[in-house]
Structure 1
């Protein structure tokens, strides 16, 4: 740390916020570390490149250094680090671990290392489409307990924390700092005149969007006509359009593609509910974005997503349904056509979102990183005892 108390951070992430394939992890990266940079901390991002993006640039206070491409970044990043970054006095090297590890302690030398873990696929990797990539992801994830051993780590949700501990990561080193949301004035536009749900996110096979389509069709069988807007892009769009065609939903489902921030806000405000039927996520940022606009969410009872919806009596912000249960999903959609239920949950959702502002999240990360920066410097990672990988550890887990 500098004499002025400013941190010098290197953050390693597969993508940066300018990459066209950027998703929720990159939103998190920019919202947290952009704020830290504006507070005077030095933040360098090492990420993969993309055609048309510069090898290095300054963006919103962040210094971005790019190396290789999406599928070669793991091979090229160590060399780029050695050539351009190895001599810089970073206080902490942060690996932003989003599914596939980069093994930064192996090639960044004797520095203080820390990890942010969003989401590990596990067996759901094989629902993503490419069996070769799925197999590689599954195998690489098996190294995570050894990689994280003895290093401080933040999980972005209790579900991700539980996943890490189940894999053998020592809970003594795991903090939970939930993701945040950008707050704007509570005033909002009108709901759409007809019952309309929204999904906003990537269109990928493992997201379970066919369940939402089938639920809309099931509600129609029960005499309730719902509409659904699917906003986002991805490799699964053509298959989902075919599913909608087979279910005769052409007049009820609209694929909006990528939408601007203004259009996203209009959709979030107009929707009667946001639906997210994925089997596993790290968090589910779009549920919080909907909550910020007073829109309740319907989600699968799956890791990550269940953490973004409150169901305590009197504080409900949406509905959690068993993953894969189309009837339950359809019932939840129909229930939220009731104005009283929808608006009550919407008010609770807004209050929940207000407790998770990005400014508050950045405060927590800043405090965590200051603590990490003052910890003893480890010259060599200790060996992982086999018992650490197999036994259950019930020591207290810190939740910030």
Structure 2
């Protein structure tokens, strides 16, 4: 394990998570954490991120000024994190326990004055979508009990929906703080929005996971094709061929939908085009050309792709699910339908396909709402909270540690 040398003037923050920005299954939560930390005052703070080791990843590296340490698997990492903390306890000021189904149970091994709990979303119903019996039942009933271990800690989250879920579990309102969601690129000026496709075009962008609702998108799109036979659906994200064969292919066959991949010019005549993994730039291009993003997920911390699409001139059609309602300002800046309501989802797609003043008004409200969110704002909010907590600790005589510099 790396050795630590003390330097003067900085507050040391150890962040524990089951994934980091380079993990194979990293997603929105990992992007959020990395962007927030790299934009925070690294002259004021030293951030050390501790997570499991994945094949091909170095045990130690520095990315954008953040020290990343990887050790163990998703289970043994808790032991290694405990050992690391105990070795350097006197020089670590704060420990952030980032929960994303997996957590580090810092209640049992970190002093209360140093503990910070960070969660994007609860899992709840997703247990029954992503896990089999009996794990789904065990997880569903154990989750509230495990979360309550942190109910007295300072807590960070990203949406009013998650905050409300935590308050229902007994977290104190004064100790649950909202960090604004963000995007990592500058919002496109309106004159840079790309021309919409000539035919009604919809897009899903994200992981191939059951609770995300890709099957609902395809089903609703099949119904839409009856009224808009020229409509097209683009799906961007690393294609899971097993998921496509088991979940999507039966739906596509039932509606007689054609599907395929784009040609060398990036075009396709199929009803549904699977783009696979795309670069961030290509994703934004596709988003701006589409008429609407469709994201009927069961539950999210926020729904980053919604804000990204709005920032390039495209509104979203979403379920009235936790997180997604926050990202669309409760339907003021997007199209809402009940989760699982295929007809309702298709009707909202039809509404977007018709365009007109209604569409343009929602598109503009989505853009205006997206202007509030950028990772610079996220970092500023996080810095302010940390500085407030450091000041409180110094006044109570619980702080004053120096920079930890991690070396090989």
Identify whether the pair has TM-score above 0.5, normalized to the shorter chain.
Answer: yes
Tell me the SS of whatever aligns to 2:120.
Answer: strand
Deviation at 1:331, TM superposition (A): 1.0
Distance verdict in 2 for CA 1:337–1:228, change over 3 Å:
same
Aligned to 2:126: 124
- Note if 1:51 corresponds to 2:55: yes
Take 2:165 and 2:224, find their aligned partners in 1: how far apart are those partners?
A: 34
Deviation at 1:134, TM superposition (A): 3.2
Alignment equivalent of 1:247, drawn from 255, 258, 261: 255
- Note if 1:66 corresponds to 2:83: no
Deviation at 1:266, TM superposition (A): 1.2
- Note if 1:93 corresponds to 2:95: yes
Contact 1:298 1:333 in 2 (8 A): yes
Deviation at 1:11, TM superposition (A): 0.8
Deviation at 1:378, TM superposition (A): 11
- Note if 1:335 corresponds to 2:351: yes
Take 1:2 and 1:57, find their aligned partners in 2: how far apart are those partners?
A: 19
Take 1:137 and 1:368, find their aligned partners in 2: how far apart are those partners?
A: 32
Distance verdict in 2 for CA 1:329–1:266, change over 3 Å:
same
Contact 1:318 1:345 in 2 (8 A): yes
Alignment equivalent of 1:203, drawn from 203, 208, 216: 208
Q: Which moved more, 1:207-216 or 1:230-239?
A: 230-239
Take 2:286 and 2:49, find their aligned partners in 1: how far apart are those partners?
A: 32
Take 1:198 and 1:104, find their aligned partners in 2: how far apart are those partners?
A: 40
Contact 1:153 1:174 in 2 (8 A): yes
Contact 1:7 1:370 in 2 (8 A): no
Deviation at 1:224, TM superposition (A): 4.7
Aligned to 1:395: none
Take 2:23 and 2:281, find their aligned partners in 1: how far apart are those partners?
A: 20
Aligned to 2:175: 173
Deviation at 1:97, TM superposition (A): 1.5
- Note if 1:369 corresponds to 2:383: no
Take 1:343 and 1:169, find their aligned partners in 2: how far apart are those partners?
A: 41
Alignment equivalent of 1:319, drawn from 335, 339, 349: 335
Deviation at 1:155, TM superposition (A): 1.8
Aligned to 2:373: 356
Take 2:346 and 2:164, find their aligned partners in 1: how far apart are those partners?
A: 29
Deviation at 1:249, TM superposition (A): 1.7
Tell me the SS of whatever aligns to 1:96.
Answer: strand
Take 1:73 and 1:232, find their aligned partners in 2: how far apart are those partners?
A: 28
Deviation at 1:125, TM superposition (A): 1.0
* CA-to-aligned-CA distance 1:8-66 (integer Å, 9 cap, x gap): 21111111101121001001111101112555521100011110000111111110011
Contact 1:280 1:303 in 2 (8 A): yes
Contact 1:112 1:373 in 2 (8 A): no
Normalised TM-score (structure 2): 0.84
Take 2:219 and 2:397, find their aligned partners in 1: how far apart are those partners?
A: 53
Contact 1:92 1:372 in 2 (8 A): no
Tell me the SS of whatever aligns to 2:13.
Answer: strand
**Aligned ranges 1:277-316 → 2 under 5 Å:** 277-310=296-329, 316=332
Deviation at 1:327, TM superposition (A): 1.1
- Note if 1:42 corresponds to 2:46: yes
Deviation at 1:90, TM superposition (A): 2.1
Query: Please, what is the CA RMSD of the aligned residues?
Result: 2.5
Structure 1: unaligned runs, 5 residues or longer: 380-400
Tell me the SS of whatever aligns to 1:245.
Answer: helix
* CA-to-aligned-CA distance 1:91-131 (integer Å, 9 cap, x gap): 21111122232112323456511111101111321111444
Contact 2:321 2:339 in 1 (8 A): yes
Contact 1:48 1:67 in 2 (8 A): yes
Take 1:177 and 1:194, find their aligned partners in 2: how far apart are those partners?
A: 38
Aligned to 1:392: none
Deviation at 1:311, TM superposition (A): 5.2
Take 1:145 and 1:375, find their aligned partners in 2: how far apart are those partners?
A: 25
Aligned to 2:236: 231
Aligned to 2:261: none
Tell me the SS of whatever aligns to 1:42.
Answer: strand
Contact 1:275 1:299 in 2 (8 A): yes
Tell me the SS of whatever aligns to 1:259.
Answer: coil
Deviation at 1:147, TM superposition (A): 1.7
Q: Which moved more, 1:175-184 or 1:9-18?
A: 175-184
Q: Which gives a bigger RCO, structure 1 or 2 (Cα 8 Å, sep 6+)?
A: 2
